[in-house]
Structure 1
Amino acid sequence: MGKLGQLLAHPTELRSALLLKYFRKPLFSTADTRASEDLTVCYRLLNLTSRSFAAVIMELHPELRNAVMLFYLILRALDTVEDDMSIAHDIKVPVLRQFHEKLATQDWSFNGNAPTEKDRAVLTEFPCILREFHKLDKRYQDVIVRITKEMGNGMADYILDEDFNLNGVATIKAYDLYCHYVAGLVGDGLTHLMCIAQFADAELENETELFESMGLFLQKTNIIRDYAEDIAEGRSFWPREVWELYAKKLPDFQLPENTQQGVFCINHLVLNALDHVRDVLTFLSCIHEQSTFQFCAIPQVMAIATLALVFNNPAVLKQNVKIRKGQTCSLILQSRSYRGCVDIFEYYLRDIRKQLNVEDPNYLKFNIHIAKIDQFIEEMYQDNLPAGVKPNETPIYLKVQKRAKYDTKAIKVQNDELYKFNLLMTVAVTAILALLVAKAT
């Protein structure tokens, strides 16, 4: 079924798609993204490398937009060196280890990628990125240099790790460490950028577990979803400590007789990913600038929706599954308020529990785990207390109460958009009915 067919089959998602495209307005002008020739090139490169990331970055507050855009492009450049299998290790490893040092220059570029490498322009046009990078506040620069250094050295270590290259990720501890280098560090950097901009609670800089979970939750979701694609490419990111409970070899899950065991392994990895949900919800409660909140929230609600899609789903073993385009539109609109995000998580957690097979080896663990998350959410709001009983002012309750003040405007904007949409639809339907009546008479 094509995208239009999917939208027509899900009317609420069609409404969300129309609202998103025609009624929702960005919070800030993007005129400043063309302030210089180099900056124009940078935003062109951003759109070239990822339309989805470009869309959310473009909507950020101007104070943070360029810093996040350049952070993304620098890490994309680093990743483009690491991913290119045509580059010899004796060239690649020194480039990765020294990449952060190149940020002190004004004109460094790299032309060693294969001509077929789709993102090679980020490296060949890197001087444009460097010149804009040096215009940033020194505090932003320092964060980006630190993360680039840690990530580049982490990538180099994995390239030289023969066991990893031959056998993939061995243990859950190694799985967490790998996800740290490719995603946890991104969460670290973005958190520090947001705190420097004073768009988040200052103490968030020291909440390592929270911003680490923001990255790991996204990365683990992608690793689970990308099983078939990774197997086809000869890669192995599912931790052996988990998959060996269900098969002798990781590719064996693609055999028809092993489908059920493969599904149980998927579910086991979903259970592991759910460990990060409480941290994710806590982190989001600490963001108070609206565009920054949306920037953080959208990937997380996409991740929980994707986890619900891959859960108990044998199609994951054969192909890359994705949530519907209209579903994405709905999630973007609903996640503009913190309560909207919490509602999304509750909805998909219920969906996962509804799909849970009593024969699943982790059946009891899933029920206990989701019940703990439900209890955590109840602690956030404490809506159903008996008359006269005061809420228990736990740290998460106080954070959510503080965050609720910032939601007021976002909810008002949502309601105004919906009112305009409904009014227009009413006028359109009335006009169509009048036309039909006129023709009939």
Structure 2
Amino acid sequence: MGSLGAILKNPDDFYPLLKLKMAARHAEKQIPPEPHWAFCYTMLHKVSRSFAMVIQQLGSELRNAICIFYLVLRALDTVEDDTGIPTDVKVPILKAFHRHIYDCEWHFSCGTKDYKVLMDQFHHVSTAFLELEQSYQEAIEEITKRMGAGMAKFICKEVETTDDYDEYCHYVAGLVGLGLSKLFHASGSEDLASDHLSNSMGLFLQKTNIIRDYLEDINEIPKSRMFWPREIWSKYVNKLEDLKYEENSEKAVQCLNDMVTNALMHAEDCLKYMSALRDPAIFRFCAIPQIMAIGTLALCYNNIEVFRGVVKMRRGLTAKVIDRTKTMADVYGGFFDFSCMLKSKVDKNDPNATKTLSRLEAIQKTCRDSGVLNKRKSYIIRSEPRFNPALIAMLIIILSIIFAYLSTKRPNN
């Protein structure tokens, strides 16, 4: 769970954190007995615990399809990310990956830690893939083929312009949005969403990740990974890596704010996409990451720490988003509150302040025009703790003792 200090500062984080911890334990127990499916779900928990929890609420058929879709694309991404693979080896693998998923003998050793295990034992993923309904297989194959070709293109091409940036993000994330829309439709639960809106869902998440992960990507060994478009960063520094140096802090923050402003252009499309969803489980599956994205952008904006370390939402706030996102009113509320937080950080002297404020006001107008903002209770913007920290500390100690006692009494399976 979150640190004791964070819980004391935000005592109403405790219950959502406890629920999240219990949900994670429950999800870890829902591992299918078949060896290939057991591998897939175990690996899913290892490479993305949050995704593994959110996916559990889906119906079994759609859950299996999305689990395999995620692992196939994660494996493809592992090949792309491994800077130690020579280009003449990497490009053919990326282009042929959609055929490898049909081959239960294929594997390729690359990546590190859990990702290496995924690649070394990829035959389990292929075996599970071949058990999916044909409509799911076709959707996964199509997206894998298009994504592999796009990744191969950008192995040999720099992200120069904002159009390049959008194209790269389309290949690595927009296509995920298109693929999920196809899987939702194949399940019979949703109408087929437009490619434009599906693409925006992916781009909003991907651009948030690229912004947040600047330092990790630029420090990648043996070769830096550079996804920020030259068209943006060249307005502030001579080389992208210059942004991490303290003497360039002012320019770095201005560049960061430019990147966040670029990402905000997709927010209204995301709201439109989510407002059309009918299935409650699919809605939560889509909505939670999007609220997390705008929350992360609000934290990153005007924040020099992006160039010094890791900036992310505290675990308690993440737990609240997961726990309390149930309706479109919650989504409008989350987007409205985080956009207010971001708006409060805008310096009118920032070169992009006018554009940033314009995009935030458009998001807020969409949320207000929904007419449902008054139907939810804000948990994002709060002035002061509602509980006595000493009492909360005592409660944590008591519950920890109870939890430890129950754990020792649980029979071994």
Aligned-residue identity in percent: 40
In the other structure, the counterpart of 2:168 is 178
Distance 1:256 1:122, change over 3 A: closer
Amino acid at match of 1:210: L
Q: Aligned partners of 1:340, 1:192: CA distance in 2, in Å?
A: 25
Q: After superposition, what is the alpha-carbon deviation per residue over 1:231-252, rounded to whole angstroms, capped at 9, x for unaligned?
A: 2222221111111222222222
Q: Aligned partners of 1:29, 1:222: CA distance in 2, in Å?
A: 26
Q: CA deviation at 1:355?
A: 1.0
In the other structure, the counterpart of 1:370 is 360
Q: Aligned partners of 2:48, 2:23: CA distance in 1, in Å?
A: 24
In the other structure, the counterpart of 1:131 is 127
Consecutive aligned runs of 4 or more in structure 1 exceeding 4 Å deviation: 22-26, 28-31
1:263 aligns with 2:257: no
Q: Aligned partners of 1:133, 1:21: CA distance in 2, in Å?
A: 30
In the other structure, the counterpart of 1:108 is 105
Matches within 5 A, 1:199-238: 199-200=189-190, 202-204=191-193, 207-233=194-220, 234-238=224-228
Q: Secondary structure at the residue paired with 1:119?
A: helix
Q: Aligned partners of 1:355, 1:81: CA distance in 2, in Å?
A: 38
Check the 8 A contact 1:30/1:58 in 2, yes or no: no
Q: Aligned partners of 2:182, 2:250: CA distance in 1, in Å?
A: 43
Check the 8 A contact 1:87/1:112 in 2, yes or no: no
Q: Aligned partners of 1:147, 1:22: CA distance in 2, in Å?
A: 34
Q: Aligned partners of 1:19, 1:112: CA distance in 2, in Å?
A: 38
Amino acid at match of 1:214: M
Q: CA deviation at 1:153?
A: 1.2
Matches within 5 A, 1:65-104: 65-104=63-102
2:339 equivalent among 341, 349, 374: 349
In the other structure, the counterpart of 1:50 is 48
Matches within 5 A, 1:314-329: 314-329=304-319
Amino acid at match of 1:140: Y
1:148 aligns with 2:148: no
Q: Secondary structure at the residue paired with 2:176?
A: helix
Amino acid at match of 1:62: S
Distance 1:353 1:225, change over 3 A: same
Q: CA deviation at 1:173?
A: 0.4
Q: CA deviation at 1:179?
A: 0.6
Distance 1:368 1:87, change over 3 A: closer
Distance 1:23 1:322, change over 3 A: closer
Distance 1:111 1:372, change over 3 A: closer
Q: CA deviation at 1:196?
A: 1.3
Check the 8 A contact 2:43/2:114 in 1, yes or no: no
Q: CA deviation at 1:84?
A: 2.2
Q: After superposition, what is the alpha-carbon deviation per residue over 1:79-109, rounded to whole angstroms, capped at 9, x for unaligned?
A: 222222333333222221111112333x222
Structure of higher CA gyration radius: 1
Q: Aligned partners of 1:210, 1:250: CA distance in 2, in Å?
A: 31
1:18 aligns with 2:18: yes
Q: CA deviation at 1:357?
A: 0.6
Q: CA deviation at 1:112?
A: 3.4
Distance 1:246 1:45, change over 3 A: same
Check the 8 A contact 2:78/2:115 in 1, yes or no: yes
2:118 equivalent among 122, 135, 145: 122
Check the 8 A contact 1:334/1:341 in 2, yes or no: no
Check the 8 A contact 2:107/2:120 in 1, yes or no: yes
Distance 1:85 1:117, change over 3 A: farther
Q: After superposition, what is the alpha-carbon deviation per residue over 1:340-375, rounded to whole angstroms, capped at 9, x for unaligned?
A: 111011001011111111111122222222222222
1:280 equivalent among 262, 270, 278: 270
Q: Secondary structure at the residue paired with 2:348?
A: coil
Check the 8 A contact 2:211/2:256 in 1, yes or no: yes
Matches within 5 A, 1:356-395: 356-381=346-371
Q: Aligned partners of 2:129, 2:355: CA distance in 1, in Å?
A: 47
2:59 equivalent among 58, 61, 65: 61
In the other structure, the counterpart of 1:7 is 7
1:157 equivalent among 148, 153, 157: 153
Amino acid at match of 1:224: I
- Structure 1 residue runs of 5 or longer lacking an equivalent are 385-403, 412-424, 433-441
Q: CA deviation at 1:287?
A: 1.6
Amino acid at match of 1:56: V
Aligned CA-pair RMSD: 2.7
Q: Aligned partners of 2:47, 2:72: CA distance in 1, in Å?
A: 12
Q: After superposition, what is the alpha-carbon deviation per residue over 1:151-178, rounded to whole angstroms, capped at 9, x for unaligned?
A: 11112222233xx2xxxx2110001011
Q: CA deviation at 1:325?
A: 0.6
Q: Aligned partners of 2:45, 2:359: CA distance in 1, in Å?
A: 39
Amino acid at match of 2:6: Q
Q: Aligned partners of 1:259, 1:383: CA distance in 2, in Å?
A: 37
Aligned residue pairs: how many? 378
Distance 1:318 1:29, change over 3 A: closer
Q: CA deviation at 1:56?
A: 1.8
1:332 aligns with 2:322: yes
Distance 1:383 1:269, change over 3 A: closer
Distance 1:254 1:103, change over 3 A: closer
Q: CA deviation at 1:301?
A: 0.7
What TM-score, normalized by structure 1, do the two folds share? 0.79
Instruction: Decide which moves more: 47-56 or 278-287.
Output: 47-56
Q: Secondary structure at the residue paired with 1:109?
A: coil
In the other structure, the counterpart of 2:384 is none
Q: Aligned partners of 1:124, 1:109: CA distance in 2, in Å?
A: 9
1:197 equivalent among 178, 187, 209: 187
Instruction: Decide which moves more: 290-299 or 33-42.
Output: 33-42
